[in-house]
Amino acid sequence: MGWTLEDLRRDIPVLRRKVYLNTGTLGPSPQTVTVAFVRAYEQWQVEGPGWPEGYEARRAAMDGVRAGIGLLLGVPGDRIGLAENITQATNWIAAGLDFSPGDEVIVGTHEHPANRYPWRALERMGRIRVVPWEMDGDDDALMQRLSRLLTPRTRLVAVSHILQTNGRILPAERIVAACTEAGALSFLDGAQAVGQMRVDLASIDPDFYGFNGHKWLLGPVGTAGLYAHPRAFARLGLLPAGSGSALHDLAGRLEDDVPWRDTPRRLEVGTHNWPLFDGLMRAISLYADIGWQEAFAASHALVEQFLGGLPHGVEEVSVARRSAMVTVRVKDLPGRQVVGELYRRRKVIARAVEELQPQGVRFSFAPFNLPEDVEQALQALGEVAHDG
């Protein structure tokens, strides 16, 4: 069936009742996505979950999921390992690299705890030193700061592709190139980028790239993964380990010296909640059907509309390169209070981003949103600014 943006919108239940502008936290799944994974689960139960043919078919289907995600990201599917969330994928890197005392990891100052705490944990364990990388200024200023922080001790740079705080798109290619030149590994957290903008890993060429399906891709909660270039994957140790570590037809043997996988699939050590990934593939296929360019253009138009209509007392927290997420402040009101008021007055769902400043309120403009949603948000902001 040829899906359009209108079909997509009609199929997302929450939009009938609320103004959903918080895809950056979690994307609302279309009904067809929910049905895809619920049906897949039911089918599995009807046939018997341990049914031999089903098991084989499932393995093949999961290869298809990795290949499908690879296609979306412009890379081969055998460079993808599937996870439950991006935090898990980030921990694979933190636990897998062989750090030694004195090693440094450069971490952006706007990172989500998913990409801060694993590095802080290693620091607490005395294995690395975290070097904070400030995110102010334009791209040139950012890159100059990075080149000053990179030293022969830098093992890894861990930073987001799009900052969760203010929606700034970071210059991914330049960051990766600077890391390569300095002999450091690069890890980009793509939680806010995949599904929000075109992400072509073949041209960015990072060592590691994390993604999740439960934000901009509108997939089921619990779908995520890690891209690892073979040169970087080879640097990871052998933990975590489990049946998924071994080449699959050998995992059941009693001998423990079976050959192990040499792709990120090895990190998927135990049983997956695989029906969720059927839901994710359904979500990706909807957007492929609609056309990614059309989807991105729709988001972009909503951002322009929003910025063009900001009421008196509401200011954008400006950024060098803007994405489909915009953070504003309403006078000096705390972000949490504003978010509560937006919901109470007009059922507008946004997110407080107090990590950036206590007043930060972030709006996510997804392709399924309409100009009417933006109008509602602007009206509600105007009322809060007026009364506050």
Query: Which residues contribute to the site for ligand PLP (CB under 6 A)?
Result: 25, 85-87, 112, 114-115, 160, 164, 189, 191-192, 212, 224
**Would you say 162 or 377 has its CB closer to ligand PLP?**
162
Which phi and psi (to 5°) does residue 336 adopt? -60, -40
**Residue for token pair 């009904």:** 31
Strand order in the sheet with 80-83: 80-83, 224-228, 208-212, 185-189, 154-160, 103-108, 128-133
**Would you say 115 or 376 has its CB closer to ligand PLP?**
115
Which phi and psi (to 5°) does residue 287 adopt? -65, -35
Q: How far is the CB of 379 from ligand PLP (least distance, A)?
A: 27
Alpha helices in 15-103 (DSSP H): 31-47, 52-73, 86-96
Q: How far is the CB of 303 from ligand PLP (least distance, A)?
A: 18
- Nearest residue to 383 via CA among 349, 332, 338: 338
Are 60 and 85 spatial neighbours (Cβ–Cβ below 8 Å)? no
Q: How far is the CB of 218 from ligand PLP (least distance, A)?
A: 14
* Angle at which helices 52-73 and 275-290 cross, to 10°: 40
CA distances from 66 to 49, 86, 334 (A): 21, 15, 42
**Would you say 341 or 355 has its CB closer to ligand PLP?**
355
**Would you say 112 or 229 has its CB closer to ligand PLP?**
112
**Would you say 52 or 270 has its CB closer to ligand PLP?**
270
